[in-house]
Structure 1
Amino acid sequence: MRRCVFDHVAPKNAAISCSVQLCNAYRRAMSASSQRSSSPKPHYTLPNDWTLAHERLALLSAAYDSDSIALAQRLGVGKGSRCLEVGAGGGSFARWLCHVALPGGRVLAVDADTRHLTDLPDRGGEIAQINLVTDELPEGAFDFIHTRFVLLHIAERDIVLQRLARVLAPGGVLLLEEGDGLGVPHAMHGSFGAVWRAFALSTEIAGADQTWARNLPTQLDVLGLTDVRASADIPMFRGGSPIAQMWSLTWAQLHDSLVTVGVRPETIAAAQADLAEKERWFHAPPTVRAWGRAPRA
């Protein structure tokens, strides 16, 4: 997977014809999201109980784990680190944490649905099924906290972020990796872009905020963290790659929701066919990474 800021894939006429209304609806949803703190009926649109959820999560891990691990290593995660993985999903990053932090440290992986994490205790880790908004976590208990593509989907995301900052031990690091819809309405062409706009709209309706991530560095400053840093990149990927397969499964999981918000079934099928073509290149929306340290005592 390469990183770049340009996509040279030409649009398809069939996708253009069904995208205008969807683009307008997407822009309205993005504008409205900046004025609301929650959705009337917030829910996560990609639950772990779907038949192929394990495969989709494994593909997401194959696409993103290497960057997450490299940054965690730069931030000093190692033997003895007390680690909290928030929204652990398929568990791949938590397994890596068990490998590098244990023995001597601690790895707690939490999720609203822990069905894909059952092997972690055999590796020395812990699992907990919790609601990040309402359930308690031990304050000041962790040297490293990580979350990836989780908080933007939670309507009460700002509350959860404040809680995670309190859970840091003095000098501990909070690392957030979140997607951002920047450039989606204009820059993503063809069937893939049309379906991605429908996906973004469906998540906004469910309470997500596709613009939230770009403000993470400022929020970490406001929370009093120190050494705040941030970066963003645009993943470029070939058809048939893990990230392409992940998006294809995402469209499969959300097929009915995508149709409900205005994309045609044949456009979804065309996007999935395009994603399987190894000679094609695509770009996904930016991934924002922001991190900071709790003040030392």
Structure 2
Amino acid sequence: MSKSQYVFTDSQYVKELERLQAIEQVFDLASRKRIQATGITVDWRCLEVGAGAGSVAQWMAAVVGENGKVVAVDLDTRFVANIQLPNVEVLEADIRHLSLENRSFDLVHARYVLIHIPDFQVALARMLDLLKPGGWIVIEEPDFSAARAITGEERACDSVNRVNRAILQMFADRNMDYALGVKLPATFQTLGLRQLSVENDVPLSNGGSGIATVMKMSTVQLAEKYIATGEATQDDIEQYCLFSEDRNAWAIYYATVGVTAQTAAS
């Protein structure tokens, strides 16, 4: 995935940092629980793919301790470049082409990364190649096909559903799968992995909630791309934002599918 493929590449620094930090506030707890389920402990070597604003990488660094190691990889490392921890290494690279000689990891984690990569199978294969025998992989990806307005003002609900169609079209136009998350378990099955565990979080959220706020921030930043699909207008964008602030309006903004599995022992 080149930077030009990533939909948030053109986002302003402050707005994108705020969006990434909002994602961390909403989703880090669930990510930590999934990672903890692998048995992560001191001395482990971990790879964080798509480091974002760095919260998960820093949390893992605290868990693995001074003799452990966390490598944080991202196409854009501007939000993690200032991490000053002796057991964290930050690399600006594309996971599909990442060359790490003599490195085998106990754990690889990625959240909301593969959905942005048309040939996500290549990225997933590379992550698995970097695991040692018996190593763990934790992948969390969205399923936007679950998105829909539930209750709210009729005009706003219609606009929310049009924006949702624009999101689906934007991904389709880029040869990306907007429902990737829900298809991950079947993908993992074909790879012969062990200890497969699947969670499907489909929160029903009202306006002002964490996920509604995250989606509002994303919609503001990606408004031009959504409008360019022909599925939504500027008025729809504005109505979507108002809906996401209305505490009496409820929607499923998207689902998150978390898949955890272990490679075969040697």
Q: CA RMSD in A?
A: 2.3
Does 2:249 align with 1:286?
no
Q: Which residue of 2 aligns with 1:270?
A: 239
Unaligned runs of 5+ in 2: 152-156
Q: Which residue of 1 aligns with 2:154?
A: none
The higher-RCO structure (CA 8 Å, 6+ apart) is: 1
Residue 219 (structure 1) shift: 2.2
Corresponding residue to 1:112 among 71, 75, 88: 75
Corresponding residue to 2:90 among 116, 127, 135: 127
Unaligned runs of 5+ in 1: 1-37
Q: Which residue of 1 aligns with 2:203?
A: 235
Q: Kindly tell me: are residues 103 and 260 of structure 1, through their superposed partners in 2, closer, same or farther at Cα, counting changes over 3 Å?
A: same
Provide the TM-score with structure 1 as the length reference: 0.80
2:259 and 2:158 mapped to 1: Cα distance? Answer: 31
Q: Residues 82-128 of structure 1, C-alpha deviation per residue, up to 9 Å, x if partnerless?
A: 11000111111111111211212110110000000023233631100
Q: Residues 23-68 of structure 1, C-alpha deviation per residue, up to 9 Å, x if partnerless?
A: xxxxxxxxxxxxxxx9xx9711122752310000011111111111
Corresponding residue to 1:167 among 107, 130, 145: 130
Corresponding residue to 1:182 among 105, 126, 145: 145
Corresponding residue to 2:112 among 149, 168, 178: 149
**Which amino acid is 2:104 matched to?**
A
Are the counterparts in 2 of residues 84 and 142 from structure 1 also a CA contact under 8 Å?
yes
1:221 and 1:129 mapped to 2: Cα distance? Answer: 30
Q: Which residue of 1 aligns with 2:6?
A: 44
1:222 and 1:138 mapped to 2: Cα distance? Answer: 27
Corresponding residue to 2:22 among 49, 59, 81: 59
Q: Kindly tell me: are residues 147 and 48 of structure 1, through their superposed partners in 2, closer, same or farther at Cα, counting changes over 3 Å?
A: farther
Residue 81 (structure 1) shift: 1.5
Q: Residues 197-230 of structure 1, C-alpha deviation per residue, up to 9 Å, x if partnerless?
A: 2122112212321233323223223223211121
2:258 and 2:111 mapped to 1: Cα distance? Answer: 9
Provide the TM-score with structure 2 as the length reference: 0.89
Residue 187 (structure 1) shift: 7.3
**Which amino acid is 1:50 matched to?**
Q
Q: Kindly tell me: are residues 201 and 224 of structure 1, through their superposed partners in 2, closer, same or farther at Cα, counting changes over 3 Å?
A: same
Map 1:53-92 onto structure 2 (within 5 A). Answer: 53-92=16-55
1:115 and 1:227 mapped to 2: Cα distance? Answer: 35
Between the aligned residues of both structures, percent identity stands at 28
Aligned residues: 258
**Which amino acid is 1:209 matched to?**
D
